[in-house]
Copies of this chain bind each other. A is one copy, B any other.
């Protein structure tokens, strides 16, 4: 499972655990602008009682191309339209992440990779769409020794078609503590969310629609 420290990957992993999977968590330190996401990933991994949590450094700032991996400003207060891909898109990020997860899955003998992508309440990132996930899955089996030996890798995307409110309701039913998570792209130096980036706006709308208070805001 890919674990970012946000609420989606936490919920996706918890759903997988509920379905009986043992969890191995991979967090990629790809050059995020802040460290709060990584701290949240550690707290979430602990809460999920994962078998193992690997943090891997892959510095995508070497390539740039995104406001999340450079000093370019993060867009604020925008009307989110999935048809318009914002500057927070990190080129090929999910492909890099899933490839690393595939490498680990093959060595573990795992055949399921869990990722919390969502193609409903999202920022229009191309690598969150179902047709992309299907193409990655097909490639993954051809890429590996396990695939040649007959293993079919499955990319588990339990949140793919849920709204943010549905994700949150699902997590609350699983007794998740969303106070552990961090969603903001651009927190202040103390780690407090800006409340105005896409990620904050989607999160706030999700909690509002779910009719639940966001426990992270109480801290």
Q: Are B95 and A102 in contact (CB under 8 A)?
A: yes
- Docked complex Cα distance between A147 and B94 (Å): 14
- Contacts A56-B58, A58-B58, A126-B147; is A140 near B63 (CB within 8 Å)? no
Question: Does residue A89 face the partner (Cβ distance < 8 Å to B)?
Answer: yes
A:80-136 near B, CB below 8 Å? 85, 89-96, 98-100, 102-104, 106-107, 126-127, 129, 131-132, 135-136
Assembly stoichiometry (copies): 2
Interfacial chain B residues near A63, Cβ < 8 Å? 54, 103-104, 107
- Docked complex Cα distance between A92 and B106 (Å): 8
Q: State the interface size on chain A (CB cutoff 8 A).
A: 43
- Docked complex Cα distance between A59 and B64 (Å): 20
Q: Which of A104, A142, A148 has the most CB of B within 10 A?
A: A142
Nearest 9 Cβ contacts at the A-B interface: A65-B107, A91-B106, A92-B103, A135-B139, A132-B142, A99-B99, A63-B104, A92-B102, A95-B99
